[in-house]
């Protein structure tokens, strides 16, 4: 019998410090720049202060990109523009520095960590630090079979928790979370549709490489069929991840929840991260308070999930490549908000202010005396 109790996360996760947030808001009122003139950067700085428990907010000095990787059997149906089982090629390109997320990470001086959960390749294809949490080779075809066994789902979830602990223990102060998958957006669409009670067509997007109409219809059909398998297990989130998720999605869900336990802010990337966050919200309702939506990917499933969690994307640049690239673009915005909140000077009284106040007070007293 499993010793994993997801209800524990409800007790373990606290909201960011409300008292600190009020202190951050009060400090913002005293800044020389008028309140509201910095737009969402004000809210972002105050949120970060509450997450850190610090006023003024500390700079984000040790961010990290964490990417969970896996192949999905449903890709065999032609629901992706990439060949089934080809996520390993993307991982190689990331590690070699040739993908958008790797280029951006170099420029922003942010390390990238890739965690292989279910790539369809030999386990010795990548370094040990990439593959040591792997659960299986590829996840099952969710339209006709479970993605994982119950034991594999628990192992993947626990792996995500372990990765979060490793990052927190190493001093990471903010995570940019993404996925490297083929077929992952289909699994994500099933999770979002199941948890939001919508039809397949409402959540089905065209993926990072913009599939054609026929592939979109195949993807809709796959999500519809998988939804039939998802609905009977909606009450058990680990069973749901086993039935229609995948090892990478189960790990991302565990990772997100443990980041909230460890009070480590997370910037979400695309629809896969949003779907896992939605599952995490079902497990622990306070958890989304620790997450930011980095950007809008244009995927309808992401829009639906973020709306359900009341998370508004920081950017909308039409980035659909996935792999954490869009969310990483939001990191300079987070750092800018922290710098402005911490470094802008507070207002100081101008010379003569006190004498003017005293003169005004004297005039009031004289008027009162005259009235008497």
Residue 275: which residues within 8 A CB-CB, separation 6 or more? 187, 188, 189, 191, 192, 249, 301, 305
Catalytic position from the list 61, 299, 323, 343 = 323
d(CA 277, CA 178): 12
Burial 326-353 (b: 16+ CB within 10 A, else e): bbbbbbebbbebbebbbebeeeeeeeee
Does 61 participate in catalysis according to the annotation? no
Q: What are phi and psi of 135, to 5 degrees?
A: -105, -40
HEC string of the chain equals CCCCCCCHHHHHCCCCCHHHHHHHHHHHHHECCCCCCCCHHHHHHHHHHHHHCCCCCCCCCCEEEEEEEEEEHHHHHCCCCCCCCCHHHHHHHHHCCCCHHHHHHHHHCCCEEEEEEECCCCHHHCCHHHHCCCCCCCECCCCCCCCCCHHHHHHHHHHHHHHHHHHHHCCCCEEEEEEEEECHHHHHHHHHHHHHCCCHHHHCCCCCCCCCHHHHHHHHHHHHHHHHHHHHHCCCHHHHHHHHCCHHHHHHHHHHHHHHHCCCCEEECCHHHHHHHHHHHHHCCCHHHHEEECECCCCHHHHHHHHHHCCCCCECCCCCCCCCHHHHHCHHHHHHHHHHHHHCCECCCCCCHHHHHHHHHHHHHHHHHHHC
Question: Are the CB atoms for 64 and 176 separated by under 8 Å?
Answer: yes
The residues that are catalytic are 323
């Amino acid at each position: 019998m499993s010793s994993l109790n997801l209800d524990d996360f409800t007790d373990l996760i606290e909201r960011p410090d409300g008292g600190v947030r009020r202190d951050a808001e009060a400090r913002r009122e005293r800044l020389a720049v008028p309140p509201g003139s910095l737009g969402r950067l004000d809210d972002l700085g105050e949120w970060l202060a509450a997450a850190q428990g610090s006023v003024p907010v500390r700079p984000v000095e040790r961010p990290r990109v964490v990417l969970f990787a896996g192949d999905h059997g449903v890709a065999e149906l032609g629901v992706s523009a990439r060949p089934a089982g080809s996520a390993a090629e993307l991982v190689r390109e990331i590690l070699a520095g040739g993908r958008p997320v790797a280029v951006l990470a170099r420029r922003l001086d942010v390390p990238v960590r890739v965690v292989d959960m279910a790539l369809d390749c030999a386990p010795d294809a990548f370094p040990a630090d990439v593959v040591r949490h792997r659960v299986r080779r590829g996840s099952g075809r969710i339209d006709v079979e479970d993605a994982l066994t119950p034991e594999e789902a628990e192992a993947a979830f626990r792996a995500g928790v372990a990765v979060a602990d490793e990052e927190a223990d190493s001093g990471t102060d903010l995570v940019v979370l993404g996925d490297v998958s083929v077929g992952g957006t289909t699994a994500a669409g099933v999770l979002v549709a199941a948890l939001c009670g919508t039809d397949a067509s409402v959540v089905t997007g065209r993926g990072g490489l913009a599939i054609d109409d026929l592939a979109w219809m195949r993807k809709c059909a796959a999500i519809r069929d998988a939804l039939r398998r998802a609905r009977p297990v909606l009450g058990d989130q680990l069973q749901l991840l086993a039935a229609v998720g995948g090892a990478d999605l189960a790990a991302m869900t565990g990772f997100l929840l443990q980041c909230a336990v460890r009070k480590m802010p997370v910037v979400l990337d695309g629809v896969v991260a949003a779907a896992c966050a939605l599952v995490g919200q079902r497990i622990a309702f306070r958890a989304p308070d620790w997450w930011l939506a980095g950007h809008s990917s244009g995927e309808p499933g992401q829009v639906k999930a973020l709306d359900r969690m009341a998370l508004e994307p920081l950017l909308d640049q039409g980035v659909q490549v996935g792999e954490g690239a869009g969310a990483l673009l939001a990191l300079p915005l987070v750092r800018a908000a922290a710098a402005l909140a911490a470094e802008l000077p507070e207002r100081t009284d101008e010379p003569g202010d006190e004498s003017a106040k005293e003169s005004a007070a004297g005039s009031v007293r004289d008027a009162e005396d005259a009235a008497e």
